[in-house]
Amino acid sequence: MVLDGTSPRPASRDALWWQSAVVYQVYPRSFADSDGDGIGDLRGVLAHLDHIAGLGIDVVWLSPVCRSPQADNGYDISDYQDIDPLFGTLADLDALIEAVHERGMRLIMDLVVNHTSDEHPWFVESRRGHLGGKSDWYFWRDARPGSVPGEPGAEPNNWGAAFAGSAWEWCPDRNQYYLHLFSAKQPDLNWENAEVREAVFAMMNWWLDRGVDGFRMDVINFISKDPALPDGEVTATGYGDGMPYFSYGPRVHAYLAEMRRRVFEPRPGTYLTVGEMPGVTPQQAREFTDSKRGQLDMVFQFEHVSLDHDGDKWTQRTVSVNDLRDTLGRWQEALAEEGWNSLYWNNHDQPRVVSRFGDDEGCWFGSATALAIVLHLHRGTPYVYQGEELGMTNAVFDDVTDFRDIESLDYYEQTVVRNQGDPAAALAVLRRKSRDNARTPMQWTSGPGAGFTAGTPWIRVNPNHVWLNAADQRSDPGSVYHLYRQLIGLRHSEPAVARGDFALLDVGNEHVYAFRRRLGSREIRVVANLSAADGTFGRDGLELDQVLLGNRPARERETDRLAPWEARVYLVGT
């Protein structure tokens, strides 16, 4: 058993090894259940590592497995240095780290330190009041002067929480409010307090000593708040928008620089750090990922996954090929010289891409693979979310009782129960937008429970596992899975994919998303019809027989016409 980080990490080729890497996200609760309790666990991950390694993956990102009351499926941690019994033990995690390393891969953990659980001992101590040593570890404020504490409107400011309601919770024990940007079970840590930062850095060091290879940092741009905590502009929710005061706070760079000094700099070896940053702009992302500052290797931006939001995430907006190209193209350009992009369609918070930007009914295979080809051949580090490599689709829930996610349930409560909205309409919105779309169990086989569990799954299995599953796809060379393998292989074998520059082509084409990657005399050209209509593309000197890969039979490739959702990758030059 490895307790001290002696499990050898894969040797790093260079400090920027992650520029040619592909990351696979495991959401343990929904990945594989080894003990029949209906909830995925670490031994389940261990048992299926070869599926991930077989894809050619370099890094596994494990969503939170630490001790947690599970109010937000583990993004509410009550002990950073222990594993929740739902998922297993520290020994299981050590075994997983070792098995990941044995396969030449690395493992990064989810670092959730903007907030803790309200059941974390730090908060339990803090809420006791002013005498406790940790009284200042969270944001505590008095009620507004002249108001009745605990009554609506008495909150210290008007910010709304991310899920629903006010961002402040009244705490009678302490006769004060505490701030929670997410649920009331997730109080925000006060990073202004140096002891808080030290405790976080010590915990990070403990994990790195244990053998993990870096972190995906949850909403890490929220850790510095404008100390005045001013009211925000009131939105349709009736609450103020606090984002301008906490999404890029005055000390966020200072905190990340300190983290680098206290955690990463003193260590030999190379790690991967990726910061989740809602609301981050390309300019800010460049600052965070500028190699001279060395704060983070890359960030997750949210612009392309907000294109189908109209004002708020629940209101649908139709997304065009031009929208996608404008957004992704702008990010490519902004981080071309300095900084680095992460590339993703999916994660545990986003609906499935084939159902969202593709066509899971009319052209499931074509759209799943065309979207994969487009994403994976951009410049940046691609992330594959479990099941994406199979083209897994949104859930098909027919009742609100099928949903599990705190955000979805809060939305339903707010719109239907409190505001007497139409239940059928709310359900239709959740079917399209709920985070649970990403959280249905991984579809391993066509058998009962999709091979995910021998028990009753914590959330319903998608019935399409009878034809959409890993076992069938691994043995079918023409499957979505094998297309992902090819794309990942291409990133490893073709330097123009990993490090080449990027330029959009055929800008304005309403159907075809086209671009080129170039490194020296090597050029890769991608043409992808992201629509249900036929498309054409500008040949611009292209020899049409030099197709590296595509998602339609080779005999159809020698034309500049693309069938609906057809995508091809050409090699130009030598």
CB of 80 to ligand GLC, least distance (A): 14
Kind of pairing, strands 547-550 and 567-572? Answer: antiparallel
What is the per-residue binding string for ligand GLC in 395-414, x denoting contact by CB under 6 A?
--------------------
Task: Give the Cβ contact number of residue 300 at 10 Å.
Answer: 23
Distance from chain centroid for Cα 237? 25
Cα–Cα dist 160/537, whole Å: 46
Q: 75 vs 245, which CB is nearer to ligand GLC? A: 75
Q: CA nearest 305: which of 276, 284, 335?
A: 276
CB of 69 to ligand GLC, least distance (A): 13
Binding residue for ligand GLC, selected from 33, 41, 58, 72, defined by CB under 6 A: 72
Q: Are 187 and 179 in contact, with CB atoms under 8 Å apart? A: yes
Q: Are 476 and 483 in contact, with CB atoms under 8 Å apart? A: no
Question: Of 33, 94, 155, 218, which is the active-site residue?
Answer: 218
Task: Give the Cβ contact number of residue 142 at 10 Å.
Answer: 12
| 112 near ligand GLC, rule: CB under 6 A | yes
Beta bridge partners of 176: 171
Owner of token pair 């909403």: 219
Strands annotated E in 332-397:
342-343, 381-385
Residue 226: active-site member: no
CB of 34 to ligand GLC, least distance (A): 23
Q: 210 vs 348, which CB is nearer to ligand GLC? A: 348
Q: 370 vs 438, which CB is nearer to ligand GLC? A: 438
Q: 406 vs 483, which CB is nearer to ligand GLC? A: 406
Question: Of 76, 94, 155, 276, which is the active-site residue?
Answer: 276
| 389 near ligand GLC, rule: CB under 6 A | no
Residues whose CB is less than 8 angstroms from the CB of residue 371 and which lie 6 or more positions away in sequence, other chains included:
345, 353, 354, 357, 358, 530
Cα–Cα dist 252/248, whole Å: 6
Restricted to residues 324-353, the positions that interact with ligand GLC (CB under 6 A) are 348-349
What is the per-residue binding string for ligand GLC in 259-278, x denoting contact by CB under 6 A?
-----------------x--
| 219 near ligand GLC, rule: CB under 6 A | yes
Binding residue for ligand GLC, selected from 24, 80, 182, 207, defined by CB under 6 A: 182
- How many chain residues are in contact with ligand GLC, going by CB under 6 A? 9
Residue nearest to ligand GLC according to CB distances in the complex? 75
Q: 273 vs 531, which CB is nearer to ligand GLC? A: 273
Long-range contacts at 360-364 (CB < 8 A, ≥ 24 apart)? 360/393, 360/394, 362/532, 362/564, 363/532, 363/564, 363/565, 364/391, 364/393
| 80 near ligand GLC, rule: CB under 6 A | no
CB of 385 to ligand GLC, least distance (A): 11
Long-range contacts at 32-39 (CB < 8 A, ≥ 24 apart)? 32/442, 32/444, 32/452, 33/452, 33/453, 33/454, 33/455, 33/457, 36/453, 36/454, 36/455, 37/86, 37/453, 37/455, 38/453, 38/455, 38/456, 38/457, 38/458, 39/86, 39/87, 39/453, 39/458
Secondary structure (3-state) at 315:
strand
Q: 74 vs 449, which CB is nearer to ligand GLC? A: 74
Cα–Cα dist 329/494, whole Å: 21
| 436 near ligand GLC, rule: CB under 6 A | no
| 75 near ligand GLC, rule: CB under 6 A | yes
Name the CA radius of gyration of the chain, rounded.
24
Owner of token pair 């009550």: 78
CB of 72 to ligand GLC, least distance (A): 5
Cα–Cα dist 175/503, whole Å: 57
CB of 319 to ligand GLC, least distance (A): 21
Q: CA nearest 515: which of 324, 236, 334, 342?
A: 324
CB of 349 to ligand GLC, least distance (A): 5
Residue 543: active-site member: no
CB of 159 to ligand GLC, least distance (A): 15
- 498: enclosing H helix or E strand: helix 495-499
Q: 86 vs 112, which CB is nearer to ligand GLC? A: 112
| 504 near ligand GLC, rule: CB under 6 A | no
CB of 348 to ligand GLC, least distance (A): 6
CB of 222 to ligand GLC, least distance (A): 9
Q: 312 vs 534, which CB is nearer to ligand GLC? A: 312
Kind of pairing, strands 233-234 and 522-529? Answer: unpaired
Q: 84 vs 98, which CB is nearer to ligand GLC? A: 84
Q: 214 vs 329, which CB is nearer to ligand GLC? A: 214
Secondary structure (3-state) at 151:
coil
- Active site residue ranges: 218, 276
> Which residues sit at the interface with ligand GLC, rule CB under 6 A?
72, 75, 112, 182, 218-219, 276, 348-349
